[in-house]
């Protein structure tokens, strides 16, 4: 009888240990990826039941990390986290899943003077996943005759900005505003380069941009160029 009870206890301990070690009980990590209108891409990391940080990327600049601290839960039951960019720009992350983060759930990122952006979450690389693409995000790239390369960003069903780059110069962002549709039904957006040079962007897809569609970029005194879109 004593031998039977000893064996039973040993079996229960083994089952308990296997249960604790099961992957179903392991905390998963998630990555939520998107892009702000000023050209900064971001990756928000969710580890061990909370959002921990945001990594910011923009071409030509080193990555910058914002550490996140839980602040409160808003009146919709959504956890709110706060941090800063280079100790200067206030950053807020709102967990729209109400604490139930998983593949396909969304977050909202707000940055002082930058505006806001939504992002979808996917499994972290450690859990066999990869960061998802920005929500509704397209990037159209090309180059002007004067050597300026550009990336035109499309998000939330509209073109939002153009990031200009030329070797030896820091990136410059043009914010785009919808103007009207031309006679061919192609949406026209306008902005400026350094508040001095007029910029026009024509959506040659007729308002239905996708991988392989084109945009036409016109800059005062620079001429015109076509860019190809991709996700």
pLDDT digits (tens, 9 = 90+) for 70-91: 999 999 999 999 999 988 899 9
CB contact at 8 A, 202 and 216: yes
**The most confident of 17-31, 103-117, 118-132, by mean pLDDT:** 103-117
Q: How many Å apart are CA 79 and CA 176, to the nearest integer?
A: 32
CB contact at 8 A, 219 and 213: no
pTM: 0.47
Per-domain residue ranges for the chain? 26-127, 138-230
Average pLDDT value for the chain: 83
> Contact at 8 Å (CB) between 190 and 179?
yes
Residue 190 has pLDDT above 80, yes or no: yes
Q: Which of 175, 170, 134, 172 is nearest to 150 (CA)?
A: 172
Least confident range from 45-49, 140-144, 226-230: namely 45-49
Using alpha carbons, select from 62, 54, 50 the residue that is nearest to residue 35. 54
- The confidence band for 3, taking pLDDT boundaries of 50, 70 and 90, is low
109 versus 136: the higher-pLDDT residue is 109
With bands split at pLDDT 50, 70 and 90, how would you rate the model's confidence at 119? confident
Q: What is the pLDDT of residue 130?
A: 45
pLDDT, position 60 = 65
Percent of the chain with pLDDT over 70: 82
34: CB partners within 8 A, 6+ apart? 41, 42, 109, 117, 118, 119, 120, 134, 135, 137, 155
């Amino acid at each position: 009888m004593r031998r039977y009870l000893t064996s039973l206890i040993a079996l229960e301990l083994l089952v308990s240990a296997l249960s604790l070690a099961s992957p179903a009980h392991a905390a998963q990590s998630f990555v939520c990826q998107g892009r702000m209108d000023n050209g900064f891409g971001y990756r928000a990391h969710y580890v061990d039941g909370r959002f921990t940080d945001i990594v910011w990327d923009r071409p030509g600049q080193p990555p910058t990390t914002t550490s996140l601290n839980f602040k409160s839960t808003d009146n919709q039951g959504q956890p709110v986290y706060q941090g800063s960019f280079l100790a200067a720009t206030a950053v807020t992350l709102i967990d729209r899943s109400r604490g139930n983060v998983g593949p396909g759930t969304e977050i909202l990122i707000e940055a002082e003077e930058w505006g806001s952006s939504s992002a979808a979450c996917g499994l972290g690389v450690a859990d066999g996943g990869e960061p998802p693409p920005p929500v509704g995000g397209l990037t159209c790239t090309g180059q002007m005759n004067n050597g300026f390369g550009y990336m035109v960003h499309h998000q939330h069903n509209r073109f939002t900005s153009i990031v200009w780059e030329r070797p030896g110069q820091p990136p410059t962002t043009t914010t785009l505003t919808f103007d009207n549709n031309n006679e061919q039904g192609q949406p026209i957006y306008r902005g400026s380069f350094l508040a001095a040079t007029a910029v026009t962007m024509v959506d040659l897809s007729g308002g239905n941009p996708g991988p392989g569609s084109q945009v036409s970029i016109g800059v005062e005194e620079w001429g015109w160029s076509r860019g190809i879109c991709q996700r």
